[in-house]
Amino acid sequence: MSDESLSYEQARTELAEVVGRLEQGGGSLEESLALWERGERLADVCQRWLDNARDRIDAARAARAE
């Protein structure tokens, strides 16, 4: 599944798992870097979802105010 097809909930859940694994430590530097990079991509997906939700809310409010 590509990152773009993840729902907000899926991305948030996987991001929480990545953070948990990073907090546990114990992996190699390379594994930690890969997890960090994955976390950054997942955070971007979540942010896009949140930005889109904000835009939709703003549009609905503007339409109601007309």
The tens digit of pLDDT for each residue in 5-44 reads 999 999 999 999 999 999 999 999 999 999 999 999 999 9
Residue 4 predicted with pLDDT over 80:
yes
In whole angstroms, what is the distance from residue 63 CA to residue 28 CA? 52
pTM equals 0.88
Q: What is the DSSP string of 12-57?
A: HHHHHHHHHHHHH--S-HHHHHHHHHHHHHHHHHHHHHHHHHHHHH
Residue 66 predicted with pLDDT over 90:
no
In whole angstroms, what is the distance from residue 34 CA to residue 48 CA? 21
